[in-house]
Amino acid sequence: MKEKPLFEEKQYLGFNKPALMRNLVFVLFCFVAYYWTEEREKNGELFFLVGCAILVIAILFLFVKHLHTKVFSDYLELDGIWTTRKVRVDLNSIVKCEQTDYSPYLINNPAYNLHIKGVIRFYTSGRHALRLTDRQGLVYLVGTQRPEELKRIISSCIGAAGKDTGV
């Protein structure tokens, strides 16, 4: 029987606010250009079709799961889009768990298993993240919409593992 996760969160690409706003601005531009076009038969239809295509793609992205975070009693599992491999982080090797902002910037691109300067990033949208540091000094930055709950659960798993092993 499969173990039930202690915490589970799904994040979708369509809820990334900067990307959604960018797409809506492009759609608005296309529809305004269609309205102001002199010869609608030639050029206007192209603006209308492009605007509709961008709108449909933005709606479809609302259903594309980018990051699926699950916390079990002894590991953290991060699952991404279709062809990405699942990443398992052993909670027994985590020595520090702290809540932080993902980035000082307002606009951030979604990232899955992105290695930059010794930090492995997992992010879809939002401002909050957890910084997990393991015994080897490797840092995992996991973006989340519910940072307090995730931190509480991971900290309790780390505390329980430390008591069992005598660390």
At 18, the pLDDT band (50, 70, 90 cuts) reads: confident
Q: Is the pLDDT of residue 163 over 70?
A: no
Section 40-57 average pLDDT: 88
The first and second tokens of residue 158, run together, are 């780390």
Section 160-167 average pLDDT: 51
Please write down the long-range contacts of 110-115, taking CB distance under 8 Å and 24 or more positions apart. Answer: 110/13, 110/16, 110/66, 110/67, 112/66, 112/67, 112/78, 112/80, 112/81, 112/84, 113/78, 113/80, 113/84, 113/85, 113/87
- 147-159: b (≥16 Cβ within 10 Å) or e: beebbebbbebbe
pLDDT of the residue at 1: 57
Section 46-56 average pLDDT: 94
Contact (Cβ atoms closer than 8 angstroms) between residue 129 and residue 108? no
Contact (Cβ atoms closer than 8 angstroms) between residue 86 and residue 113? no
**Alpha-carbon dihedral 9, 120, 87, 5, rounded to 10 degrees:** -30
At 77, the pLDDT band (50, 70, 90 cuts) reads: very high
Section 31-43 average pLDDT: 81
Compare 142 and 16 and report the one with higher pLDDT. Answer: 142
Q: Is the pLDDT of residue 162 over 70?
A: no
Q: Convert the pLDDT of each residue in 90-147 to its tens digit.
A: 999 999 999 999 988 888 888 999 999 989 999 998 899 999 999 999 999 999 999 9
Compare 70 and 19 and report the one with higher pLDDT. Answer: 70
Euclidean distance between CA atoms 25 and 29, whole angstroms? 6
At 84, the pLDDT band (50, 70, 90 cuts) reads: confident
Compare 138 and 41 and report the one with higher pLDDT. Answer: 138
Amino acid at 31: F
Q: What is the mean pLDDT of the chain?
A: 89
